[in-house]
A and B are shown apart, each in its own frame.
Chain A
């Protein structure tokens, strides 16, 4: 497996503020990496560093086996798509697409050929002679993608390209970007704070917080085995249920209030006895039933149910006033006040050490 992008010990400070801290990322050729994290965590900053638009404080960036740490943006073999489209307003679509190629002194026939190809792929041929002001949001974003496309580069950088579009257009373009990726097969680094985009597009997701990568793994891995409490809480909507308790019996069981849950079948490391631990359960990994099974169920009372179309969310209150959510088929309506038992699928659960916040 050859590396397309390698980030080595990258740090970036704005004055005395450290925005990126000692980052290490290896991206394989053709891989689709999504940078995901809350606002202000440094996603755009990292992308700008990769593009060469910001001078880094420390570390190295390699693209395609070349050290590009101090190379100009245009010499890095990257194309970039911005959130605000950033189309040159005074140029036509054709002018926007050809600007970079003209700067590179490419012959006219070659420019025309590339524009024709990109316009074909993105279906923007009829728009080529319009100004950006005469385009819709979705069309503008296509042109912006086209501008990266004509550069014929190996690495695409996207900074929240869809977040200015409405929901319907967003899902359409999302699919289109995925199609584009499977067709061109180049490396993509994609910034978003939309989980759906991240989970659907990514080969691997890098979850970031305050300039530190919390976990870099495949979407399923991130979803099912979040490496720490932050990742667990950040991914998934509604978020994971967290039960604060302790692991006992040498790690064989989890004690939550008066409920004891059997941990046999947990997929993870040695659980051990931890006086303070957190059991994380996703809403879809709990099953509502009316009888209790010792060591396998948690008693709770239904508060409200929210039908959401495809399925339905049931909100319950467990011992100690803990609010929990469970996903059920939409036909299953639950009356408020019904006492029920939640069966735990321990093979899909996560246990966190309260002190270190790391997954056990």
Chain B
């Protein structure tokens, strides 16, 4: 193969004008813009990381862009395990585990239900399935604020107001429209004849779902996973409204630490706490960025 390529390269010479090299006007513009944009986004991050590694005396000197003279991890330790919010003084760790306990079941349940929804809507059309779908999608256009209070009442009536279960239920339901749409579109892009062949082969609803559909749908599951993990982890509104202090998710707790009015403002601790809270979505993006793009390209945003 290699020598074939070399051979053909010597025979077929490139034609036309030589491509212009680095310092053309267009390139300077392009890279200039990219540079400015990255500085714009990276500078705050830089400031946060640097500040979180400084001690308070150094911060009071005021030069926020300068790297720390003396690196200390004390603010990180304090943010994680000692910072006080209200009555609790066990830091963000409590919020972290709360968020884990909220996010994991919400993500799993919502993805399972939505994928089965999408599959049923595409392959097992029932009377009124289109109406069902329209209502579901319409639901995603109603502003959350309108639904907050009714949901509080509903959860109270179900005796799960102020519990993790209540919040998990709310997250699962609110993820439904977009996830169902996502899965429905993906499944309808798979060839219908595969489904028919499986029916002729005697496979039923669940067997077709697990053995035919799911194995072909890995990319879209990854997309759904990322959307849900980041969405639920970053949620603040529902966390504040539907839970109580002991089980506040990390975001709410972060807010309480940062906005606490007692004592001096510990900027280094606040920065460390913020970075800790953002770590989970960040890791998700880094780990699965490629898969995410591939999943989106594989039909997630189609028709």
A72 to chain B, nearest CB (A): 8
- A86 to B207, Cβ gap below 8 A? no
In the complex, what distance in Å separates the CA atom of A48 from the CA atom of B212? 20
- A73 to B193, Cβ gap below 8 A? no
- A88 to B196, Cβ gap below 8 A? no
In the complex, what distance in Å separates the CA atom of A352 from the CA atom of B162? 83
Judge if A210 is at the interface, Cβ distance under 8 Å.
no
- A84 to B212, Cβ gap below 8 A? no
Please indicate the chain A residues that have their CB under 8 angstroms from the CB of B193 in the complex. 82-84, 86
Complex interface bits, B199-232 against A, C-beta within 8 A gives 1, otherwise 0: 1111100010001100110000000000000000
Interface residues of A in 83-103 (CB under 8 A from B): 83-84, 86-90, 99-100, 103
Contact flag A82-B215 (CB < 8 Å), given A103-B201, A104-B202: no
- A53 to B196, Cβ gap below 8 A? yes
Judge if B57 is at the interface, Cβ distance under 8 Å.
no
A92 to chain B, nearest CB (A): 13
Complex interface bits, B161-203 against A, C-beta within 8 A gives 1, otherwise 0: 0000000000000000000000000000001011011111111
Interface residues of A in 76-126 (CB under 8 A from B): 78-80, 82-84, 86-90, 99-100, 103-104
Please indicate the chain B residues that have their CB under 8 angstroms from the CB of A53 in the complex. 196, 199-200
In the complex, what distance in Å separates the CA atom of A86 from the CA atom of B195? 8
Please indicate the chain A residues that have their CB under 8 angstroms from the CB of B203 in the complex. 74, 99-100, 103
A54 to chain B, nearest CB (A): 10
A-B contact pairs, 29 of them (CB 8 A): A51-B196, A51-B200, A53-B196, A53-B199, A53-B200, A72-B202, A73-B200, A74-B199, A74-B200, A74-B201, A74-B202, A80-B200, A82-B193, A82-B196, A82-B197, A86-B191, A86-B197, A87-B197, A88-B198, A88-B211, A89-B216, A99-B201, A99-B203, A100-B200, A100-B202, A100-B203, A103-B207, A104-B202, A147-B197
B46 to chain A, nearest CB (A): 46
In the complex, what distance in Å separates the CA atom of A89 from the CA atom of B194? 9
Complex interface bits, A280-313 against B, C-beta within 8 A gives 1, otherwise 0: 0000000000000000000000000000000000
- A103 to B196, Cβ gap below 8 A? no
Residues of A within 8 A of B (CB): 48, 51-53, 72-75, 78-80, 82-84, 86-90, 99-100, 103-104, 147
Among B194, B199, B200, B202, which residue has its beta carbon within 8 angstroms of that of A88? B194
In the complex, what distance in Å separates the CA atom of A148 from the CA atom of B239? 55
In the complex, what distance in Å separates the CA atom of A79 from the CA atom of B201? 8
- A86 to B194, Cβ gap below 8 A? yes
B213 to chain A, nearest CB (A): 10
- B201 to A100, Cβ gap below 8 A? yes
Residues of B within 8 A of A (CB): 191, 193-194, 196-203, 207, 211-212, 215-216
Please indicate the chain B residues that have their CB under 8 angstroms from the CB of A147 in the complex. 197, 201
In the complex, what distance in Å separates the CA atom of A86 from the CA atom of B199? 12
Nearest chain-B residue to A159 (Cβ)?
B193
In the complex, what distance in Å separates the CA atom of A82 from the CA atom of B203? 17
Contact flag A88-B212 (CB < 8 Å), given A80-B200, A82-B196, A103-B202: yes
- B202 to A80, Cβ gap below 8 A? no
**Closest 9 interchain pairs by CB?**
A74-B202, A100-B201, A86-B193, A103-B202, A86-B197, A90-B215, A82-B193, A73-B200, A73-B199
Among B196, B207, B211, B216, which residue has its beta carbon within 8 angstroms of that of A48? B196
In the complex, what distance in Å separates the CA atom of A104 from the CA atom of B203? 9
B298 to chain A, nearest CB (A): 13
Contact flag A80-B207 (CB < 8 Å), given A88-B212, A104-B202: no
Please indicate the chain A residues that have their CB under 8 angstroms from the CB of B212 in the complex. 88
Please indicate the chain A residues that have their CB under 8 angstroms from the CB of B211 in the complex. 88, 99
Please indicate the chain A residues that have their CB under 8 angstroms from the CB of B199 in the complex. 52-53, 72-74
Please indicate the chain B residues that have their CB under 8 angstroms from the CB of A79 in the complex. 200
In the complex, what distance in Å separates the CA atom of A147 from the CA atom of B199? 13
- B197 to A80, Cβ gap below 8 A? yes
Nearest chain-A residue to B218 (Cβ)?
A90
Nearest chain-A residue to B201 (Cβ)?
A100
Please indicate the chain A residues that have their CB under 8 angstroms from the CB of B197 in the complex. 80, 82, 86-88, 147
Please indicate the chain A residues that have their CB under 8 angstroms from the CB of B207 in the complex. 103
Q: Which interface residue of B202, B203, B207 has the most chain A CB atoms within 10 A? A: B202
Please indicate the chain B residues that have their CB under 8 angstroms from the CB of A82 in the complex. 193, 196-197
In the complex, what distance in Å separates the CA atom of A52 from the CA atom of B202? 11
Nearest chain-B residue to A48 (Cβ)?
B196
Nearest chain-B residue to A148 (Cβ)?
B200
B93 to chain A, nearest CB (A): 41
Please indicate the chain A residues that have their CB under 8 angstroms from the CB of B194 in the complex. 86, 88
Please indicate the chain B residues that have their CB under 8 angstroms from the CB of A103 in the complex. 201-203, 207
In the complex, what distance in Å separates the CA atom of A248 from the CA atom of B149? 88
In the complex, what distance in Å separates the CA atom of A74 from the CA atom of B203? 8
- A86 to B202, Cβ gap below 8 A? no
In the complex, what distance in Å separates the CA atom of A143 from the CA atom of B216? 19
Query: What 14 new A-B contacts, CB under 8 Å, besides A53-B196, A86-B197?
Result: A48-B196, A53-B200, A73-B196, A78-B200, A80-B200, A86-B193, A86-B194, A87-B197, A88-B194, A88-B211, A99-B203, A99-B211, A103-B201, A147-B197
In the complex, what distance in Å separates the CA atom of A72 from the CA atom of B207? 15
